[in-house]
Chains A and B, each alone.
Chain A
C-alpha cells in the first residue's frame, strides 16, 4: 500500500505543479478579463470605447455596429441580404445578429459574456433575469428621459397603453434598464371539430355544462363514425379554459405540465398563485370528473403534441379528441372562407393534409357557474428589450437603437419590413393581411425578425389589422401574463413549488390522489416557501406601482 501512496503522491505532485503553473498563467488571463468590469463600466469596455471614439472621430461617416439578440433561436444575418441592407442604410448602422443555440441558451450566453463579448441589444424573456444582468454588468442603464426624447412616437403609444406599470417594469434599484412594449395579445381560442358537431347535430357549446354535454357526446356517440368507441373530448391544452371558467389563469405549456412560475394578477391588482386559490379545487374537481368519464383523453399525460412544431396537436389532427386550444392564427387567419387555403394557419394546413374532410369552428371559452370565463394570454406589456453596457455607453448606439424603436412605432412600412420582410419574397399581401411565405426563404438569415419589437399595439392595428380584428373577434376574455417583479424569495423556491404542484395536480386529475388532498397540497405549497414568495412578490409589485404613482 505504501508504494501505491508514493506513486499517488508523485502523481498528485505532478498535477499540483501543473495546476499551479497553469493557475499562474490563467490568473493573469483572468485579471485581464476581470479587471475590466471590476472597475465598473470602465476597464475593457472603456478601452473599447476609447478605441471607438477615436475611430468615430477619424471616420465619422462609418456606420455604427449594432448587434441584436432577439429570440432564443436567432441566426446570423447575411450582410448581403436586401432587408439587412435597407435597414442598415436607413439607420446608418452595420447590423449584426448573434447566433445562440436555443437548447443551452443561457449557458452559451454566459460563455460569451465571460469572454467579454456581448450583443448591443438583448431581449430579456423573463423579468426575473434583469437583476442578474444588471448586477453582472451586462445590461446598462437607459434613462426614461432619453427614451422620451429620442423615441417620442414610441413614448406616445406607451403612455396611451400604460396600465400604470408599463414605465416601471424595467426599473431596478431606482434606475431604468431598457424598454417594454405595449403588446396586442390575443388570448387562446377554442377549436372544435365542426364535422363532429354537425354529425351529432350539436351546437358549439357556451357554458361549462354545455361543454360537458357536447364532449360527452364526442365520447359516447362515435363522432368519427368508425363504429369504435375510440374518441375523447379534449386533452391538456384545453385545461386553461376550464380554469378560466373559475376565474383562474392556468398555463400548461408545450410539454404537459403546469407552469407554476407564472402568477396571476388579481382584479384587485394583487398578484397571487392561481394554483393554490380555493377555486382551483373546483376546476380540479371538474377535470377529475371529466377524466373519469373519458372526456379527457387518458393520454393527456404524454401530451397532445407528439413532436415537431409545438403548437401542432396530434391528438386533434388524428381525430382522437374534438377540442383543442391554440392561438387563432395557428389555424386560421380569418373566417372569411375556410375553403381557401390562403386563410389557413400552420396547424390547419397540417390538419387538412392529414384529413381533408376535417372542418373546424372556433367557439367561445366556457362560462363557469359564476359567469366567469376566459383563456390564457401572453403579456400585455412585453418584449422587454435592453441595451447592454457596451451599447449604453456609446451614444451613437443608443441613438441608433432608439431610432429603430421609434420607427417601429411611427413608420408602419418599416415595421412591416422588420417583421415581415419584403412583399413577394418573404410575405404575400392577401385581403386578410400579410402572410409569410414558407418555401425557400430563411427569414432570420435574411434579416427578417432580427430587430423587430413583435406584435405591438400599433403594429397589430396598422400592419395586420385583419388578423388582429379576427383574433379578438373569436376570443373573449384573456388572463394575461403578469411580469413578476424579480424577488429572491420567489426564484429560490420556484423549482420546488413547480414540482410539488405538477405532481399534485396530475395525481388529483387522474385520481391517484383524492380531491381532498388539495388542502394538504396547499399547506405543503405554502410551507415550502410559496407563502413567503407570494408575499414578497406582492410587496415588490405594490412598491413598483407606488413608485410610479409619485
Chain B
C-alpha cells in the first residue's frame, strides 16, 4: 500500500480537489484531536510519577513537571524482587505469545476450511467457552490436580489461546482468496505446506494483532500468580508491583496504625515502569500493519 500510495500522492499534488481537502481535514482533525486528548492526561501520569507529594496533591492539572522527585521510581526499583520479576514477565510474555500464536494458527486454519465436516459444531464448542466458565474455584482445583501450581507452565497453559483471537484469525484466513490454496495444491503442496508457505506470509497483519493481544495479556496478568504461585522466584512484574502498592495501605480505622502511605507518585512510577516495554513493542509490530503484503503474493 505504501508503494502504491506514493505515486498517487504525487499525482494528486498537481491538482487537489475540494474533496481531497475535506477528507484530509477530517482525517487529520480526528486523529490530531485523539492524539492530543490522550497525550495531555498521559503527561499528567508521567509528571506525577516524578513529582513530590506537594505537586501531586494539588488539585488541577500537572502536565509538565516543575519539581522533580524520583522517590517513587527509587522505591520500586530498589525492591529486590522487582528486576527478577521483570525477567520472569519478559520470559512469560515471549513464551506465552509464541505458543499462543502457534496454536491459534494451527486451530484457525482447519476451521477456515469451509468443507471441513463438523466445523460449525467445533465453532460452537469454542464460542460457548467465551461466555460460560466454571469460575475460579473449579479452575483452581483443576490446576492443583494437574500439578501446575508453582510451575512456570501455569502462566502459559491455562491461558494458551482465546476464542476471540481464534475467531479473528479464522476470519482473516477465510478472507484470503481460495485460488491461492488451489494453485499451491496443484503444485503438490500438503496442507501444512499451504499453511506455512501460502497463508503465513499473507497473515502478518493478523499475526501482529493477535501477538499484541497475547503479549499484552501476559504482560498485565497477575491474578494467576497470586492464586497459583507462591514461589518468589516465579513472581511476575505486575504482581510484585501490586504487592508493593498494597503493602501497608489500609484505610481500616481499626488498624489504628500510621503505616506507610504509598503515594500516587509511586503508583504512577509503577505504571510508567511497567508500560515502557509494552509501548516499545508496538512500533516493532507496527510495520506489519503498514506493509501491503498482497502485492507480493499475487505476483508469486
Contacts and interface: CB of A to CB of B under 8 A. Distances in A.
A249 to B, nearest CB: 14
Contacts of A349: 53
A71 B252 contact: yes
Contacts of B53: 349-350, 353-354
- Measured as residues with beta carbon below 8 angstroms from the partner, the interface class of chain B is 35 or more
Interface in B37-77: 52-54, 56-59
Interface in B125-183: 125, 128, 136-138, 140-142, 144-145
A100 to B, nearest CB: 8
A53 interface: no
B251 A354 contact: no
A324 interface: no
Chain A interface category by residue count? 35 or more
Nearest to A319: B59
Contact of A378 (B58, B119, B253): B253
Interface stretch (A9-17, A87-95, A277-285): A9-17
Contacts of B259: 436, 443, 449
B232 to A, nearest CB: 8
A86 B142 CA distance: 39
Given A11-B122, A71-B255, A354 B57 contact: yes
B118 A10 contact: yes
Contacts of A104: 223
Nearest to B249: A73
Contacts of A72: 250, 252
Interface in A301-360: 306-312, 314, 317-318, 320, 327, 329-330, 345-346, 349-350, 353-354
B248 A308 contact: no
Interface centre among A107, A308, A438 (most CB of B within 10 A): A308
Interface in B245-290: 246-264, 267
A498 B262 CA distance: 31
B257 A353 contact: no
Interface string A197-240: 00000000000000000000000000000000000000000000
Interface string A17-43: 010000000100110010000000000
A26 B142 contact: yes
A7 B119 contact: yes
A354 B58 contact: yes
Nearest to B230: A76
A73 B121 contact: no
Nearest to B123: A11
B243 interface: yes
A354 B254 contact: no
Contact of A7 (B59, B120, B248): B120
A29 B140 CA distance: 12
B261 A15 contact: no
B246 A101 contact: yes
B124 A8 contact: yes
B120 A8 contact: yes
Contact of B257 (A29, A111, A354, A436): A436
Contact of A102 (B54, B246, B267): B246
Interface in A23-67: 26, 29-30, 33
Interface of B: 52-54, 56-59, 117-125, 128, 136-138, 140-142, 144-145, 223, 226-227, 230, 242-243, 246-264, 267
19 contacts: A8-B120, A10-B117, A26-B138, A33-B141, A71-B255, A72-B250, A72-B252, A102-B250, A111-B137, A115-B140, A115-B141, A306-B59, A309-B251, A309-B261, A310-B251, A382-B254, A442-B247, A442-B248, A454-B256
